[in-house]
Structure 1
Amino acid sequence: MHSSLFSQLTTDLANKMKAKGLQRLRWYCQVCEKQCRDENGFRCHVASEGHVRQMLIVGENPRKHIQQYSNQFKHDFLQQLRTSHGEKKVNANHFYQEYISHKSHVHMNGTHWVTLTEFVKHLGREGICKVEQNEKGWYMSWIDNSPESMRRKEIVRKRERLDKGEENRENKLIAQQIERASHEESTTTTGDEERQKVLIREQDEKIKLDWKTTGKQDSIPNTLPVALPKKKQNIFSTVKRTTTISKQSVQNQKKITSTVDQIMQEEIDRKKRFNGRSSEFKRVKI
């Protein structure tokens, strides 16, 4: 008994090791979820008792099972699209190759859709994805309609509106400042023009000059000032000046020292007087 179970496990493991990687979709049984390695193996599987029993169960209500496989395929497909690419645009054929790289995925031959193009068009009609076709094939991008994403988009829109409002206010302030500056400049230019006196003479009009003076003018000498030569400095006079200055400084220093000595002498006399009084007070007390 144990040997038979062990042999069955080893054969299952060997078959799984051999069945690594993707194989032909036509040799896959969705009802039994079994992948055959070649046409002979698929024919043997179809003739087996387990497959016939599963097909009888499916034959009782085929629409229910097909709808179930279709919903599962759509859910897994969109889940992987949302997690791997988000709202980015991606080639439908390349993404389908990523999806079928998992061996446990639901195959398309068990769903409503016969081809990938029909499935992509279905996603576009339902508003689940943005779909477009170009020279390289069909491209799709997932549309996030969840409440959290709608809330985030609304916050982004409000922020953009606030930014636009601030930009408009700044533009208005700048425009007002420019208008104010231009107005001030125009007023200053008009004031300067009024201040300036311009001599305007009409055609064929004679110019008259009045030579009369309004008051007495000081007589202006016609002679130009002549620069006199500098006198030579007397060396002895400079020496006398320096000696007098030094004498005065010495006298000032003596005065300062005499005043300081006088203040010190007065302080000493005051202390002597104070000491004499204190000694007399002690004697009387005794």
Structure 2
Amino acid sequence: MTAVHAGTATSVLPVPRAPADGPVGPAPSGLAGTVPVPGGRAAAYQRVLHRLVRRELRLLAELLSWAPPAEPGRTRALTQHADLVSRLLLAHHRLEREALWPALLDAVPGRAGTALHDAIADWTTRAAGIDSAVRGLATAARQWEVTGTAAARDALAGACLRLAGAVEAHTADEERVLLPLLDAHLDAARWSAVAATASCRLTRRERRLVLGLALEDSCAGDRARLLDGLSRRRRWAWRLVGAGRYRAAVVRLRGEPPAA
């Protein structure tokens, strides 16, 4: 993975204008009485990003398992994709840590705020462990790039698989405990202020790829909301050329077209 990334700081994903479809789990212990209200854009954003990262880490582990160990072009393609997914995850955790959870703490009243503080403290500890694993993934990628050995490739595949498992467990708990509170307490104004701080340094090609990854596997409602979050110009650009370029990029990376 490269240490420097050209590009501009941009929102990680288009901000959905309405919630993701699907039921919300029960309120966590100590936070009863917080009834999720349909219409929360923050929880929709979280679920889309979580789904993207979980899927891509699993796919990377699979692609690495049969990649040629000493083919520079293929090595570069896979390590660059691992770097992109890693940057998205680190930027997402930074947004949560620095803006989203503080905004939620400000919005939750009384004793429920104390229970929420404990839940966020647990999230912070676990997220720090995941961020450390992401940095370990970068080290494994560099070792493969330098050595070109099957052992280094397999070490990177194993690191992707372990990180995928950790992310799946972490995001499942986050979606069960914290995301219902976003729907219950974070109004549109607070979420807009949080979303304005979301950024990740991406090239134009990476921005197009991230949009496609977010749309892939999304339900019709999420797809419509993500596209609605784009400017009219970017929405037309996606429909005219972006979707086709995304499909071609996925075929080059995976050897097959995207799922949807």
Q: Quickly name the TM-score band, shorter chain normalised.
A: under 0.3
TM (norm. structure 1) is: 0.18
TM (norm. structure 2) is: 0.19
Indicate the structure (1 or 2) with the bigger Cα radius of gyration: 1
* Larger helix fraction of residues: 2
